[in-house]
């Protein structure tokens, strides 16, 4: 039986980024860029005004004061028709190209319109280059403006649009098949009969996949029948990742391991020293990652966060799997007995001294409702302990999106 850390290493050793694909900018936020993108122009493509005001020559404004003749008005999108000569100014708007001969732009608030097309300027602090943005200040033709490996945020999307890239090469989101198993399951819209329960794991996994940056493909519920199970697993193996829920323990109808073996899946481990989630199975067939998740809902949820979500990050081309366990202090004493490292639901509180974790009531791996009151798991070590308020423990956060 592997430790959690050893099992995570085995999983991640079998993961590499998916091949690049083309994506439109509208579909690219959150994806990893798979190419260096260079600028096809200088930006700005001309010297431009940064304020509404007047384009002026400093030689005409001793001490920042003087009366000038306005020769034209230049709005954004309009090209100046004349250069500035002695004693002349141009009314100019933010973003508009400045006329040749301009040394500075004086804000309109520091001017007063005079008679006969003149303007009086009173700006004692005026200096060369004031309120001007020179051509190419932001980027130059041929500059690499967004580098390969960048996670595309709105600001990078804007830059890509600016340099004329309506689509780019990215690492796509992995396609993840979801297959809950068991004769006892019915879909959420159905009323359970005797001995049946509604399928909560499937929808929960779909939501976790979306939050983890994948594209879910729900396959339905697989019954505990070899032929049907085999056909549905074979379909799921066409995805980048296959998640099965249930059927991986040692019971009479835990058929998943044998079916996976028949379909050519190589199992790399089938137990992890953790609670909940011990009977986790991980295997591969070619490039497809296969996770046999335990059937109890909290076990399924936790195993996804610890093993599947980091794998999805690497499939998406992220630089690290994001396995970070910050520490938090307990808010109150808590006695716990366990034979394995245990992930116990808790609620984080932010204080000036750091995070504090308050353990929430929870009766074990079937208690999915208990997770609705928490946003992390506190990791308690194996053994019989009375944990004291103020002690620090690792916590697995579960609320952030990738």
What domains appear along the chain, each with residue ranges and CATH number?
4-18+173-315 (3.40.980.10), 21-43+137-171 (3.90.105.10), 54-126 (2.170.190.11), 327-397 (2.40.340.10)
Residue 248's pLDDT band (cuts 50, 70, 90): confident
Q: What's the pLDDT at 253? A: 53
Arithmetic mean of pLDDT, 168-182: 97
For the segment 308-359, what is each residue's pLDDT rounded down to a tens digit? 999 999 999 999 999 989 999 999 999 989 999 999 999 999 999 999 999 9
Q: What's the pLDDT at 311? A: 98
Q: Does pLDDT of 251 surpass 70?
A: no
Pairing of strands 21-24, 167-171: antiparallel
Q: Does pLDDT of 252 surpass 70?
A: no
For the segment 75-105, what is each residue's pLDDT rounded down to a tens digit? 999 999 999 999 999 999 999 999 999 999 9
For the segment 295-322, what is each residue's pLDDT rounded down to a tens digit? 999 999 999 999 999 999 999 999 999 9
Q: Which residue has the tokens 């403006």?
A: 145
Bond preceding residue 276 cis, omega within 30 of 0: yes
* Residue in 43, 53, 44, 42 with CA at minimum distance from that of residue 130: 53
- Quick one: what percent of the chain has pLDDT higher than 70? 99
pTM summary value: 0.89
Residue 1, CA distances (Å) to 86, 223, 268, 314 in order: 86, 28, 11, 25
Q: What's the pLDDT at 349? A: 93
Q: What is the 3-state secondary structure (H, E, C) of 203-259?
A: HHHHHHHHHCCCEEEECCCECCCHHHHHHHHHHHCCCCEEEEECCCCCCCCCCHHHH
Residue 145, CA distances (Å) to 31, 39, 163, 169 in order: 17, 6, 9, 15
CA–CA dist 340, 10 (Å, integer): 20
Q: What's the pLDDT at 115? A: 85
For the segment 202-244, what is each residue's pLDDT rounded down to a tens digit? 999 999 999 999 999 999 999 989 999 999 999 999 999 999 9
DSSP per position, 41-69: S-BSSS-EESSSEEEE-GGG-GGGEEEEE
User: Ramachandran region of residue 252, left (φ > 0), alpha (ψ -120 to 50) or beta?
Assistant: alpha
* Residue in 124, 136, 168 with CA at minimum distance from that of residue 27: 168
Q: What's the pLDDT at 402? A: 76
Q: Does pLDDT of 400 surpass 90?
A: no
CA–CA dist 364, 57 (Å, integer): 77
Which DSSP letter does residue 397 get?
A: E
Q: Does pLDDT of 370 surpass 80?
A: yes
Which DSSP letter does residue 365 get?
A: T
Q: What's the pLDDT at 247? A: 79
For the segment 273-292, what is each residue's pLDDT rounded down to a tens digit? 999 999 999 999 999 999 99
Q: Does pLDDT of 161 surpass 80?
A: yes
For the segment 107-156, what is each residue's pLDDT rounded down to a tens digit? 999 999 988 899 999 999 999 999 999 999 999 999 999 999 999 999 99
Instruction: Kindly report the average pLDDT of the chain as a whole number.
Output: 95
CA–CA dist 345, 357 (Å, integer): 9
Q: Which residues pair with 73 in a beta bridge?
A: 91
On whether the CB atoms of residues 244 and 268 are closer than 8 A, the answer is: no
Length of the chain: 402
CA–CA dist 41, 241 (Å, integer): 41
């Amino acid at each position: 039986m592997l430790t959690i850390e050893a099992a995570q290493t085995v999983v991640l050793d079998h993961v590499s980024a998916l091949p690049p694909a083309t994506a439109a900018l509208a579909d690219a936020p959150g994806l990893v860029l798979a190419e260096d993108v260079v600028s096809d122009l200088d930006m700005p493509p001309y010297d431009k005004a940064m304020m509404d005001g007047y384009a002026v020559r400093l030689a005409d404004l001793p001490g920042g004061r003087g009366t000038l003749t306005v020769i034209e008005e230049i709005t954004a999108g309009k090209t100046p028709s004349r250069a500035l000569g002695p004693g002349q100014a141009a009314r100019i708007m933010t973003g508009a190209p400045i006329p040749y001969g301009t040394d500075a732009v004086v804000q309109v608030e520091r001017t007063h319109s005079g008679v006969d097309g003149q303007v009086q300027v009173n700006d004692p602090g005026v200096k060369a280059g004031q309120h001007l943005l020179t051509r190419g200040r932001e980027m130059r033709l041929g500059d690499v403006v967004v580098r390969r490996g960048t996670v595309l945020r709105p600001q990078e999307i804007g830059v890509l649009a600016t340099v004329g890239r309506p689509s780019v090469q990215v690492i796509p989101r992995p396609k993840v098949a979801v297959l809950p198993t068991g004769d006892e399951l019915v879909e959420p819209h159905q009323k359970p009969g005797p001995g049946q329960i509604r399928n909560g794991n499937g929808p929960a996994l779909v939501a976790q996949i979306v939050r983890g940056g994948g594209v879910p493909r729900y396959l339905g519920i697989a019954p505990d029948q070899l032929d049907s199970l085999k056909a549905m697993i074979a379909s799921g193996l066409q995805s980048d990742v296959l998640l099965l829920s249930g059927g991986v323990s040692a019971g009479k109808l835990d058929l998943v391991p044998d079916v996976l073996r028949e379909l050519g899946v190589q199992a790399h481990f089938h137990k992890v020293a953790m609670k909940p989630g011990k009977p986790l199975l991980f295997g591969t067939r070619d490039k497809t990652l296969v996770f046999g998740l335990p059937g109890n809902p909290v076990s399924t949820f936790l195993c996804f966060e610890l093993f599947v979500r980091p794998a999805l990050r690497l499939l998406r081309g992220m630089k690290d799997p994001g396995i970070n366990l910050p520490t938090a202090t307990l808010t109150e004493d808590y006695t716990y007995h366990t034979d394995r490292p245990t992930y116990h639901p808790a609620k984080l509180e932010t204080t000036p001294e750091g995070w504090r974790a308050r353990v929430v009531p929870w009766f074990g791996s079937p208690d999915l409702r208990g997770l609705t009151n928490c946003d992390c798991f506190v990791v308690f070590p194996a053994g019989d302990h009375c944990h004291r308020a103020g002690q620090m423990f690792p916590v697995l956060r579960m609320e952030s999106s990738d």
